[in-house]
Amino acid sequence: MASTHYCPTDRVHYTWDTGNEPLLTVADGDTVVFETRDVFDDQLGPDSDTSALAGVDWERVYPLAGPVYVEGAEPGDTLAVELVDLHTKGWGWTAILPGFGLLSEDFSEPYLRIFDLSRGDMTQFREDISIPLTPFMGTMGVCPAGAAAQSIMPPGTFGGNMDTRQLVKGTTLFLPVQVEGALFSTGDAHACQGDGEICVTGLEAPMYAVMRFHVQKGRTIPAPQYRTAPGPLTPAVNYGAFYGTTGVGGDLYAAAQDATRAMIAHLGETYGLSREDAYVLCSLVVDLKISEIVDAGQYIVSAVLPESIFLGV
């Protein structure tokens, strides 16, 4: 019979490394309950303000729970990770971090906002702006083949720091196994985020997560894949209108920047948000989409804002 395991909470790891000792060994079909720290490893708290960012120890970012050794998983197989449940521990934060983010050249000063996540499925950005919570794990991955003190931040074909907001409760993530036992780890949870994680932080939050593991023998995939639960991708906001801005040109990254700058201007002019709050809000709710990539080298990126977050709209 399948069993349920609890991942120890007193040990984390900060790099991908084939030498990381597994904290659990589980069988095919078993379930694991995780309790993860936020991406800054509990260096911020519900009472922190912007000044706290100056004291962050960058050697302690991306603490991951695990690894979990899955019996029977071998290179060339696929590990299916079913996301059974996800919920926050009641608070979270988002920040502008100098030197990071899509518009790092536009925002050179640190900025921090703390959010109360204890009131159900929504959190307030402002009295008239209510953001739906859609928790997911920003980092889920198997250990890369040959990894030795490899940084967590960039993702890879093994998964890792994917920041893919569709990986919510009900989704199954498929990862290509690269080492014996898969050595799965997770962390960097977000209470919500738009596609793109524009300012480099989502709504970062410590999290409870329940995952079920299955080994798909002989199924080889080139990179992570996933299947969501039936239904719309954004059910919490699909009832309202959306407002889109665009960036156009021969460089997708630059087009994404232009679309975001236009959205920041729209949020300021229409809703009276400061540039900092508009930038942060973009990271939490705005989806960047490649609208067109085939017309003579001129690409279009759209930044799409759900207007349903604005009360009274």
Domain boundary among 185, 201, 227: 227
What is d(CA 189, CA 204) in angstroms, rounded to the nearest whole number? 6
Residue 1 pLDDT level (bands cut at 50, 70, 90): confident
Token representation of residue 1 = 């019979």
Examine residue 234 and state whether it is found in any structural domain, yes or no: no
Last residue of a domain, one of 195, 227, 259: 227
Is the residue at 232 inside a domain? no
Q: Are residues 120 and 82 in the same domain?
A: yes
Judged against a pLDDT cut of 70, whether residue 177 lies above it is answered with yes
Taking Cα atoms as reference points, which of 172, 177, 144 lies closest to residue 78? 177
Asked whether residue 248 is domain-assigned, the answer is: yes
Q: Are residues 107 and 180 in the same domain?
A: yes
- Specify if 236 maps to a domain: no
95 confidence band (pLDDT: 50, 70, 90):
very high
For 223-273, how does the pLDDT look when each residue is reduced to its tens digit (9 = 90+)? 999 999 999 999 999 999 999 999 999 999 999 999 999 999 999 999 999
Beta bridge partners of 209: 34, 86
Residues 108 and 138 in one domain: yes
Indicate the average pLDDT of the chain: 97
Joined together, the tokens standing for residue 7 give: 């991942």
Which CATH number does the domain housing residue 256 bear?
3.10.28.20
Question: How many structural domains is the chain composed of?
Answer: 2
Cα separation of 209 and 6, whole Å? 10
- In a shared domain, residues 194 and 291: no
Which two structure tokens, joined as six digits, stand for 130? 């209510």
Q: Two tokens at 312?
A: 């009274």
287 and 146 assigned to the same domain: no
Q: How far apart are CA 118 and CA 130, in angstroms?
A: 14
Beta-bridge partners for 210: 33, 85
In a domain, 178, yes or no: yes
Residue 170 within a domain: yes
pLDDT at 170 > cutoff 80: yes
**Sign, Cα dihedral of 244, 161, 209, 171:** positive
- 45 is written with which tokens? 């708290």
* pLDDT at res. 120: 85
In contact, 307 and 236? CB cutoff 8 Å: no
- On whether both 68 and 167 belong to a single domain, the answer is yes
Alpha carbon separation from 41 to 2, 117, 194 (Å, rounded): 32, 18, 23
Residue 91 sits in the same domain as residue 149: yes
Please tell me whether residues 188 and 289 are part of one structural domain.
no
Is residue 55 assigned to a domain?
Answer: yes
258/205 same-domain check: no
Same domain, 150 and 204: yes
**Contact, 221 vs 159, CB < 8 A?**
no
Question: What's the burial of 105, exposed, middle or buried (CB within 10 Å: 0-12/13-18/19+)?
Answer: exposed
- 143-152 mean pLDDT: 98
Q: Enumerate the H helices of the chain as residue ranges.
A: 252-271, 275-285
- Return the CATH number at 209: 2.60.120.580
Structure tokens at 287: 């989806």
Determine the structural domain holding residue 254 and report its residue range. Answer: 242-309
- Looking at 192, 227, 262, the residue that finishes a domain is 227
168 within a domain of the structure (yes/no): yes
Verify that 276 and 209 share a domain, yes or no: no
Low-confidence winner among 35-39, 124-128, 232-236, 302-306 (lowest mean pLDDT)? 232-236
Report the DSSP beta bridge partners of residue 243: 305
Q: For 72-83, how does the pLDDT look when each residue is reduced to its tens digit (9 = 90+)? A: 999 999 999 999
Q: Which two tokens stand for residue 254?
A: 């630059």
Which value, in Å, is the radius of gyration of the alpha carbons in the chain?
Answer: 20
pLDDT at residue 65 is higher than 80: yes
Q: Are residues 259 and 218 in the same domain?
A: no
Asked whether the predicted pLDDT for residue 313 surpasses 60, the reply is no
